[in-house]
Amino acid sequence: MTQDIVIILAMAVPMILFGVYPGLKLGEFLERKYDIDESMKRKVMIITTIVFTVTLSSLLYYL
């Protein structure tokens, strides 16, 4: 179980390249639609990037 987590996190490092774009787009969309401030936009972008990256890595590992 621990080895699986380590492998998924190691695979997540190159997957960050694919996770940045959805994070940027979601942050911009929320800024336009809900008029959020810059710090909230950055938090949304970072969280979206991390979640997307780990999800993509785990799907790649288990499928």
Q: What is the tens place of the pLDDT at every residue in 2-22? A: 999 999 999 999 999 999 999
- Using CA atoms, how far apart are residues 54 and 14, in angstroms rounded to an integer? 11
Cβ proximity of 12 and 58 under 8 Å: no
Task: Say if residue 57's pLDDT is above 90.
Answer: yes
Q: What pLDDT is stored for residue 52 in this prediction?
A: 95
pTM: 0.84
Q: What pLDDT is stored for residue 1 in this prediction?
A: 86
Task: Say if residue 23's pLDDT is above 90.
Answer: yes
In the chain, where the domains are located: 2-62
